[in-house]
Structures are given as structure tokens and as C-alpha cells.
Chain A
Amino acid sequence: MNTAPLPPNAAIFRAQHLTKIYRMGEVEVPALRSIDLTLCRGELVVLLGPSGSGKSTLLNILGGLDTPTSGDVWYLDRKLTGANDRELTQFRREHVGFVFQFYNLIPSLTARENVAAVTEITRNPMPPEEALRLVGLEHRLDHFPAQLSGGEQQRVAIARAIAKRPAVLLADEPTGALDSATGVVVLEALERVNRELGTLTVLITHNAGIAEMADRVIRLFDGRIAEIRRNAAKRAACELKW
């Protein structure tokens, strides 16, 4: 099942009554309480909320890294809940791009090779050079992570995430470890990918300023959706300040 031609506004994720309860010894900590949500192709969605509100849990379940306690998630027509580890690995490999707060690059591989590490295991990827050009790193192809700044490292991570032409790009606090000027450059890269490739991009932040670049802002509080707001006039990343 490939993602190739999808209608412009196809629903990529559908979540129904999504609930997640962590058991910490004898205490049960609900992280998500019956979430219903649909995310569509081409959208740039910001998940906003204080820590502990459940945004990371939601992102992890969507990305196939965690399973809900109850409720269901569909990726296109495929039900993710109940899939086994092998199927989830396959799902992440083909359809999901991840960007982490701490970049998680492989220090022993160059920028180009970090991207290639992922493109080598997927069908129909873009060349690593092209992915790096998209994030403005075409001149840093053969540098190792140790030779790159934090912002550059994060952009390599974005290139790595999008090079497989995923349907979904999930970014958990991608600017969390960066100063605001560098953060803006990273957000611009995400914005460009979203715009040019039409990749559904879900971005976690607790920084309300960033929310202004989103098509939709979903505010989570205490495991529930507190608010879904559509930005009438979304702002370009370069205009953001925090």
C-alpha cells in the first residue's frame, strides 16, 4: 500500500475514543481520555498544551510507537490498533517521518549518510541530496553531526524524515533545544516541506507563538482536546517570534 496519489484533502489519520492509561505500579495515570480526531493530507497541525497534557502520547500512538489502552486509530484504511510490532515497524518505515527534540542523528554518519540510512530501507525515496537541499543544507552534505550546529543538525533530521516521501511528518518539540533564531530556520524547513510535498505535518510544542504557523491548532489539556482552532490567517515561520 503506497500513499501515491491521494485526494488533496484525504483523511490520513482517524482516531476514535482514543484512551491511554499508564500504570505506574498501583497508580493508574490517564494520559489520553477518549480523543476523537481526524487529520488530513497537507495540513500543518500544531499540538499545543502544557507538559502532561497528553500531546506526546497522542503523537506516539499516531506514529506507531505506542498502542492505546482502548479506542481505535486508522491510517488511511488501515487500522493501527492491534497491529503487531513488525507491522508497526513497517508502517513507520514507509509512511512516517520523525523529528525529535534532540535530533537523534547517528554521529558516525555524515549528513548525507544519515539521510541515506533511511532512504536505503524505503521504496521510492528522494535522493538524500535533494532532501538536504530542501532544508537548505546542500553545502553541508559530507559533514558529520559533530561538525554541524544544533539548528543544522535538526535540519538534517528533518531531511532524514522527509526523504522517504512520508505521508506524515511528526515532530516532537523540534525547536525545544534551539534558540529562537535557529528555531525559526528549522520551522521554515518544516513549513517548506509541508507546502512543497503536501506532507501532513504534526508539530508538538508548548510554545504558543509557534501555533500561529499552523492550519489548525489543537489544544490538549489533561488528556482531552480542550480546543480545536483553525487559523484564519496563518503566518509564515519567518514572521514568528518568541
Chain B
Amino acid sequence: MISALDLKLLRDLWHLRGQALAIAAVIMGGVATLVMSLTTYDSLVRTRDRFYADYRFAQVFALLERAPESLAERLREIPGVDRLETRVRAGVKLEVAGFADPITGLIFSLPDGAEPELNRLHLKRGRLPAPYSPDEIVLSDTFADAHGLQPGDRLAAIINGRWQRLTVVGVAVSPEYVYQIAPGAMFPDFKRYGVLWMSRASLASAYDMQGAFNNLTLSLAPGTPVQPVIDRLDLLLTRYGGTGAFGREDQFSNRFLTEELKQLRTTARIFPAIFLGVAAFLLNVVVSRLITLQRGEIAILKAFGYGHLAIGWHFIKLVALVTLLGVAAGTALGAWFGQGLAAVYMETTFRFPYLDYVLRAEVVLIALTVGMLAGLCGALMAVARAVRLPPAEGMRPEAPVAYRATFVERMGLKHHLGQPSRMILRHIERRPVKSLLTVLGIACACALMMVGNYQKGAIDFMLDIQFRQAAREDVSVTFIESTSGRALNELRTLPGVYHVEGYRSVPVILRHQHLSYRTSLYGIAPEGVLHRTLDSRLRPVALPPDGVVLTDHLARAILHVGVGDTLTVEVLEGRRPVLQVPVLGITKQYLGVSAYMRQDALNALMREGPVVSGAYLGIDQGSEAQVYADLNARPRVLGMVANSASIESFYATIGEFVLFYNTIATLLAASIGFGVVYNSARIALSERSRELASLRVLGFTHGEIAYILLGELALLTLLAIPVGFLLGVGLTGILVLAFKTDLYRLPLILEPSNYALGASVVLASALVSGLILWRRLGRLELVAVLKTRE
């Protein structure tokens, strides 16, 4: 049997449905952001872990020049090694019919007649190459999909300088190459970089590695620390040209994956914290005002003999129902968006073969707790205020609140204001806290919009700085091996190439105290035209003659060094010298992390002549295809990265994901914004309908009373917009501080369009709310107001 009070509850809820829905929309916005972000993060982490385990992702990796297969036995004896697999790994150039740009790739051997011990392939289509088959290969799915290649299709490869025709028999994903990126590239480029697998015997014969290997991976027995194994390996592999073994944390794909997930986790914390925080605040304000309006009813219930607890419980149920509605809708919407988000993620960045979508109960619980706490705090404070009154007093109309002339009037502007304008100003000034909260609420809505869509402009800015100020080359070319500077002259003669700058890059480990980072040290032209370093104000600066210049993020966040400190540079190439080099500068860079020196200084450190590893080219517009074809025909050119393709691929990968996230965040921010503005307006109407109806009776027109109510809303909205801008900048600042990874750091750039969007959502919400109020004002009960008190 449903009690009378519960019946009242349901009726009240129905009566307040507009506002209840608007409040639920605010909660929904916050909760959906939380659920979407956390489930996406949880799902990707879980998927990664399962994929790594199922497909035996190795724990230690090592590259070397060449070692006899017999060495493997000795390596397996290193304590802690569980499984160890030797491989042949070769850089290749690929040719796909109908695609003229240079394609580079990596080709790995697969054991003949056995499943790989480690880094097993997940076949999406087709099969593994037949043992000893000379031309059968498996392609990485990103590359295959980018070119529409299917099992049975053919392509050509230049392995070890020899042109060879290959047949695709399978398309696969490897835990080792979830994130595929060409060495030296900033972003993945699925069309111009691919990973291939073929029979060990065939690859060894093509690459002159019979009975030998140049790559090994291993897994560890449970509980084995990584570093001792790496140290042992390094010791044993040095004489075979080892370039330093490394663990998973330095494995390329895994490192990017980790960084991206770190980024996502930050997003999953900061965004919902901001959204839910704002939603909770708004909920609190709205609910407390809603209950203050129920003052009379509370008095009547008390007069009937209901106790404080019963009354409190009654309103708690009211708020709880609305909150539940919001949490449920937010969870459903968030889960739906989360799946979409994870799908975009897998399509653009990380090619997991499957997705383990998880919605943890804790996530829903967090949402429920925050929503309920916010709603109930607002409710309880208002209910406590209301039940404290003796019933008789509560049933009487609230004593007219004392007003006074406002500041504006006292300033002497009184004569410019009619009575309606004075009413607006005095009403605002009389309840400063309430007015302030309304302004803050609307400002939060504006700020959320700015946070939600700020990344688009930031990404544009970041890419512009990177590719128009710092790395201005059209193409960067890598040579198969370090070459004499004379190779550059050859490039200069190519038709369409107007500028060439050589660079030397050396794989290094940078160490400072206990901190270290594996990267490449670039030796570039000191006053380069194409590739330049920028100071903190983004102006190009010349490199100092000796010593290194580090990316700001690398110096401050990773290695904790400043200008003047000395860095230990452990070269992983050639004689593998360990050098002490002073840090002479810090360069501002939003993308990636690098260390730079003057090329001559680096050559001197390496005790070599003017050797280059590659070159930056400036190409005349329109001659790209010709230059690409010429470069492709040069056997010494291993690969090239075109900046335009990089930008394109950034937008297609990380960019697309970020923008998808932003679109949704913006939508949710808009729903929160509308909920706030609409509720503020509706509550203002409830609070003042009697006063306005009285004026209507006295002969004020519909328009004149609307001016009083909507004028206040308009004034508060207009006040809220600049406050919202300030808040938006602040919240974006928090976001920027939290968003710093090796991959990229977003600049705090807010464009006019960010402000415009924030303001226009608020204005549009105010306009729609105003129209609804206008209609409601037309239906004011004039007669009733004569007889009722409140």
C-alpha cells in the first residue's frame, strides 16, 4: 500500500517534471563523462593486459648486429629467463601497386614449423606463412587495411638491397606492434609504414643471417627483476654489436601505449572531476532553492504531526529519485559513449584485435555517491532550514524581506531607472549569495563548454608550432646507415629539392642522477633554416657550440635537469662511449621529446668525420611526387617522413580520438549548461510569480512583467559570461597541467571560438529558457493571486 506521502511525492515529481528533468540532465552530464572516461580507460587497460598475456608479449628486447644461433643457449641460461626467442629483423622498403610514396617497414622472422614462443600473432585473416616458404608473408593489419590488401594480394620488398616479390597470406596483430610508428616519425602513418612477418629460413637467407640472429626477445620467470637480466644480456651481447637490451617500459609500442593510457587516465580523472564537481555544485544550488519553495508544504506536514525525520526523508526521497534518474541515464549514456570512444581508439591508435569492455561496479558507485551526496547536501540544508520553523510561522507568508536602495542607485543613477529596473537590481542585490550562486552556476556551464572543446584549437596551435616553426622541412629522410656528408650533395641535385640540411642521430640513454631516458640525440645544423630549436617564447634560437639542448618536458619533467647541469650520455652505437655533456639550453616543444646538439659537436663527440644519418629537405610545391619517386629509387634512402602526411595522420589518429572525446564532452557540457540556466529561470519564476501576477492585475502588460523576470535572468547571464571565461581559463589550465606526456603537451591556447562557444551555449540556453518563461508568464493565474498569500 503506497502511503499518502509517497503519493504526494510522485505527484510532486510529476508536477516538477520539467525541473526534475533539467536537474537530472545536469547529473547525467557529469555522470556520463565519468562513466565514459573510466570505462574506456578500464577497458583498454584490461584489453591490453589480456592481449599481452594471451599472445605472450615479451618482457625484454635486444637488438644486435649479428650473433650465432649457438649463443641463444648461453643466453637462456641467464637466471630468471623463462622463454627466449631469437629472430631476424630487417628494415625493408616496400612497394604497393598504385602507391608512389616511399614505404618503409620492418620484417621479422617467424620460426619455421612452430608457433612463435613469444609475441604471437593474432591472425585477423588468412594464415601464417608455410614453413620455409620463400615469399609468403603476414602483414600488420593497419598497413593491410590502409592499402586494402587481402590474403592472396602481392607486393614487393627490397630486402638487403634485393628486390623481391611477396605474397600476402595473412593479416595479423602483434602485441609488439599495437602502436606502429616509423622510427623518427612523430605519429603513426599506416600507409607509409608497415610490419611484416615471414619464414625464418627465407628471411635469413634474404638477409644473410643463416645460422645467426640480430634480434631477441625473452620473458621472465615470475618475480624476476628485469634490470639484472638486461645487464647480463648487455654484457654478453656487446661483442655482437648489441645496442642495449631494454624492458617493456622502453619498448616502443608499449611505451606509447602506456603514455596514451596515462593521458587517457588523466582525462578520465580531470574531465569527470570538473564535470561532476560542477554538476554537484549546481545540483546543490538548485535543489536547495527548490525545497525552500516548499516551505508552506513542510509547515503543513508538521502541523499534521509529521516529525522532522519523516519530512526530511520525504524530501530526500524526492531528490534521490531525481538523482537516480540522472545517474541511471548518465551511466547508460556514458557506457554507450565509452564503447564508441574505445572503438574510435582502437580504430585510430591502438589496434587491439578485440575489446574487453568493462563497466566496473565501482564506477557506477562513485557516480551514485557523488550524485547523491551533492543532491542530498542541497536538500538537507534546505529541509533543515524549513523544519526549524514552527508550523504556524511556516504557513504564514515569508515576512517581506528587507530591501534597500542598491549600490547603483546610491551612485546617483536613480533617476535613470524605472521601478521595474529598480526591482531587478534590488532583487539581485538583496540576495547576494543567491545571485552569486546563480551567476557561478551559469558561469560554470560556460566554463565547461570551454574546457570541453578547447583541445581542438590547442592541437591546431601545437601542430602549427611544430611544423611551421620548429620542424619546417617538407620531408625528413633517413639513410640506411650513417653516411658521409657528400650524400647531401646528391640530394641537392634532385629536381624540386630547394634546400637540404643533414642531421646526425645517435641512439642514447640520457642519465641524470638516478633518472634516465632512452631517446635519440640529434646533431643538427646550428642555424638551420628548416629544423630549428625554439626558445620559451617560441622564437628560433641558434644552438650553442658544445653541449646539448633538451626539450623542456624532457629536461624538467623527466630528467630534472636545468641549464648548466651535466648530463651523462650513454651512446648505444659504435664504440658505445659514455660521455659527460653540459646542458646548455632548453627548447620549447609541444610534441615528442628530443635532445639536440650541433652536428659538428656531435660528430666530434663520436670521433667521426662530418657524418650524417639523414637529411631534412625543403621541396618546391607541386614536385612532391617526383621527389618521392626519386628518393624511393635511391637504395641508401631507407625511409622518409613527409610532414604533411604526419599532420594528416595525427588528425586521423590521436587527433580524431581527442576530438571525438571533445565532441561528447561538449555535448554533455551543453546539457549541463542548459539544465542550470533553465532551472535558475524556472525557480526565479516560482519565487516571483505572485509578485508578477499582482503587477499584471494592476495593469502591467505581459511584456512589462516579463521584463522584470527576464531582465534579471539576462543581467545575471551577462554577468556570468565573463566570469565563465575566467573560470574556463582556470579549468583549462588545470587540464593543461595534468596533460603532459612524452607524446605531446597541450598548450594553454584558447581561441576566440572557444569563448564564443561557451558564451553562445549559455546565451542559447537563456534564450530557450526565456521563451519558456515568456509562455508561462502568459498563463499566470491572476485571480488566484488576489486570494492567496504565497
Contacts and interface: CB of A to CB of B under 8 A. Distances in A.
Interface of A: 56, 60, 63, 65-66, 85-86, 89-90, 92-94, 96, 98, 100-102, 104-109, 113-114, 116-118, 120-122, 144-147, 160-161, 164, 172
Given A107-B403, A145-B400, A92 B787 contact: no
Contacts of A106: 419, 423, 691, 694-695
A113 B787 contact: no
Interface in B109-143: none
B685 to A, nearest CB: 16
A146 B787 contact: no
Contacts of A120: 418-419
A160 B696 CA distance: 14
B498 interface: no
Contact of B401 (A85, A117, A146): A146
A28 B423 CA distance: 41
B699 A89 contact: yes
A222 B308 CA distance: 43
14 contacts: A92-B697, A92-B698, A100-B694, A104-B785, A106-B694, A107-B403, A117-B419, A117-B420, A120-B418, A121-B704, A144-B402, A147-B402, A160-B698, A164-B699
Contacts of A147: 402
B786 A101 contact: yes
Contact of B403 (A89, A90, A93, A146): A146
A104 B700 CA distance: 14
B786 A96 contact: no
Contacts of A94: 699
B786 A108 contact: no
Contacts of A56: 783, 786-787
Interface string B769-790: 0000000000000110111110
Contacts of A161: 698
Interface in B652-705: 690-691, 694-702, 704
Nearest to A94: B699
A97 B239 CA distance: 108
A164 B699 CA distance: 11
Contact of B782 (A65, A102, A114, A164): A65
B422 A108 contact: yes
Given A65-B783, A101-B786, A118 B698 contact: yes
In this complex, the interface size class of chain B, counting residues with CB under 8 Å from chain A, is 20 to 34
Given A109-B423, A172-B786, A122 B399 contact: no
A93 B400 CA distance: 25
A55 B361 CA distance: 64
B249 to A, nearest CB: 66
Given A93-B701, A98-B698, 15 more contacts: A65-B782, A89-B699, A93-B700, A101-B787, A106-B423, A106-B691, A106-B694, A106-B695, A107-B691, A113-B419, A117-B698, A118-B698, A120-B419, A122-B699, A144-B403
Contacts of A114: 419
Contacts of A172: 786-787
B697 A144 contact: no
Contacts of B564: none
Given A102-B789, A117-B420, A108 B403 contact: yes
Contact of A104 (B403, B420, B690): B690
B427 interface: yes
Contacts of B691: 104, 106-107
A160 B430 CA distance: 23
Interface string B215-243: 00000000000000000000000000000
Interface in B722-757: none
B698 A108 contact: no
6 smallest A-B Cβ distances: which pairs?
Answer: A93-B699, A104-B694, A117-B419, A107-B400, A108-B426, A92-B699
A121 B700 CA distance: 8
The interface residues of chain B, by DSSP majority, are classed as: helix
A105 B783 contact: no
A96 B84 CA distance: 100
Given A60-B783, A120-B418, A108 B699 contact: no
A104 B400 CA distance: 10
A146 B702 CA distance: 27
A66 B786 CA distance: 12
A121 B696 CA distance: 12
B699 A118 contact: yes
A114 B403 CA distance: 13
Contacts of A92: 697-699
A89 B783 contact: no
Question: Could you say which of A92, A107, A108, A164 has the most chain B C-beta atoms within 10 Å of its C-beta?
Answer: A108
Contacts of B403: 107-109, 144, 146
B667 to A, nearest CB: 39
A85 B779 CA distance: 11
A113 B415 CA distance: 12
Contacts of A144: 400, 402-404
B390 interface: no
B783 A66 contact: yes
Contacts of A108: 403, 422-423, 426-427, 430
Question: Could you say which of B694, B697, B782, B785 has the most chain A C-beta atoms within 10 Å of its C-beta?
Answer: B697
B397 interface: yes
A199 B397 CA distance: 31
Nearest to A57: B783
Nearest to A93: B699
A94 B419 CA distance: 18
A67 to B, nearest CB: 11
Contacts of B782: 65
Interface in B363-409: 397, 399-404
Nearest to A91: B699
Contacts of B397: 102
A83 B123 CA distance: 81
Contacts of B427: 108
Nearest to B691: A106
Nearest to B427: A108
Question: Could you say which of A92, A93, A107, A120 has the most chain B C-beta atoms within 10 Å of its C-beta?
Answer: A107
Contact of A146 (B402, B423, B789): B402
Nearest to B419: A117
Contacts of B423: 106, 108-109, 117
Contacts of A86: 701
Interface string B698-716: 1111101000000000000
A36 B404 CA distance: 48
Contacts of A145: 400
Contacts of B699: 89-90, 92-94, 96, 118, 121-122, 164
A90 B786 CA distance: 19
Nearest to A107: B400
Contact of B701 (A89, A101, A113, A160): A89
Contacts of B402: 144, 146-147
A66 B787 CA distance: 14
Contacts of A118: 698-699
Nearest to A122: B699
A145 B398 CA distance: 13
Contacts of B783: 56, 60, 65-66
A221 to B, nearest CB: 20
Nearest to B404: A144
A92 B696 CA distance: 9
A166 B538 CA distance: 74
A154 to B, nearest CB: 13
Nearest to A86: B701
Nearest to B397: A102
A140 to B, nearest CB: 14
A172 B782 CA distance: 14
A187 to B, nearest CB: 19
Contacts of A90: 699
A117 B704 CA distance: 11
A151 B527 CA distance: 89
A66 B426 CA distance: 32
Nearest to B696: A89
